[in-house]
Chain A
């Protein structure tokens, strides 16, 4: 009796676990099934490197290079903002903040990571964009630069939380050994702590990047939405995520446009997959290096 009950439970859990995984694997299948048919209408290279995206024109153009370029620029710009600020904040929290400061700042940073992206989008659209427009005297504040700025700010808490975790894994003994050799705190930080936490910090950067690439609502609201290859950092752009969000509502199911949007989704998925795999590999090596068994 008891044994039967035990094995029923075991099977129950096995089935549920694999069901939920199948659920997740389904995403990949759906993306391929709905995205690959775009190749009936356009070849792979013209699709990826085509310079014009006019899905509703007659005849339509399905070149997504402008969208890729937009995602690329916005991501780079956001990284320039969130990496130094995020990691600087993490270092400050870990190294300089006193007990009291830390007790307030750390949960605050974690808390800010939870603010929904739509709120950042709204803030970017209503406050940041007009401000940038006036400040730089450009035709519209809704541009790649504003998108980068807002996304960058948005990603700071996430980057700094992960980096701070990585720093806290550095064994205390490393630091003590350095102090014992007469190094001051700054030298210890830059020559011992940061190198030791190096791959953990890189993981935080990479995961921040993955979050920025995949972010939808913020860029949808502040990037301006022009599907042309950006001439400057201050021209309106249309990244991949916001293209899907903006156009899916109008695309007829099963049409070339619909398939093209899924193909963009697939591309996005593959990009984030690669980014996450890199993060995974780095963090695994890192754990080995510090002898952490997790």
Chain B
């Protein structure tokens, strides 16, 4: 075969890959949207469930997901940012940092169900928080901690060294330089990491399986020690428990649509911030 024929064939194959990918992923979105949309109504968004989950809304699950996610970020952000600042700005360079960085990378790859096991043992049992918003938030926080650390670290490292020097040369202290120059400059990158973390925390199911989630609540959680409903767990529970699969499936479609819209919206914001930052720095 002549070279340009091979080229045409190769390019056609690549194009095929894209088509298949887009088809698969597109069809998921399509089904979720088309079948989920009819389930969504004002009542669905604002009411508590009725008649053993076959009617009413999913408001407690929405609220629960919100609490769990906010809780996770409240724990993970300060810890993660402080850890990243320590690693890039304070820690002695060399072997120590490398080991820490490697363990963070590896922990980012630990299966989410393993975090669930940890949360069960430590937060639910050992600290006695029980199956609760607090235990779930802490478990989710651990899950997103590595990604917040590495995103923040990357953003901090990307701050040009010359800016640090400039600040120090005017007589700023190390801390003033970090607080007023380094962190503000790295903020969009840090923000991207945090928002992606929020998206991840909102969608995760396995870590809250034994630490926070419950299938059915009549009302809203009243303290951080309450069990909660959560959108992702609710989808699972609707599909595997209960007695009226047909009616439950409709609700599960609605929940899936809500969750997808929520997570895609959050991630879109993060990606948008990243893109606009790329433009500024001309990468």
Contact = CB atoms under 8 A, between A and B. Distances in A.
Are chains A and B touching directly in their complex (CB below 8 angstroms)?
yes
Interface of A: 2, 5-6, 9-10, 12-14, 16-17, 19-21, 23-27, 30-31, 34, 84-89, 91-93, 95-96, 105, 107, 109-112, 114-123, 125-127, 153, 156-157, 160, 184-187, 189-190, 207, 210-211, 213-217, 220-221, 241, 244-245, 248-249, 253, 261-262, 265, 268-269, 272-273, 275-277, 280, 294
Interface in B97-143: 100, 102-107, 109-118, 120-122, 125, 142
A30 B121 contact: yes
Contact of B118 (A27, A107, A187, A276): A27
Interface string B11-32: 1011111101100110010011
A215 B141 CA distance: 18
Interface residues of B, number: 87
B149 interface: yes
Contact of A275 (B109, B117, B175): B109
Nearest to B157: A294
Contacts of B110: 27, 214, 269, 272-273
Given A214-B109, A214-B110, A253-B125, A245 B232 contact: no
Contacts of A110: 267, 271
A207 B17 contact: no
B74 to A, nearest CB: 14
Contacts of A265: 113-114, 117
A131 B219 CA distance: 38
Given A34-B121, A118-B236, A17 B111 contact: no
B85 A96 contact: no
Given A85-B20, A89-B18, A276-B105, A116 B232 contact: yes
Contact of B235 (A5, A122, A215): A122
Nearest to A188: B7
Contact of A89 (B21, B82, B205): B21
A13 B152 CA distance: 14
A160 B21 contact: yes
Interface in B1-48: 3-4, 6-7, 10-11, 13-18, 20-21, 24-25, 28, 31-32
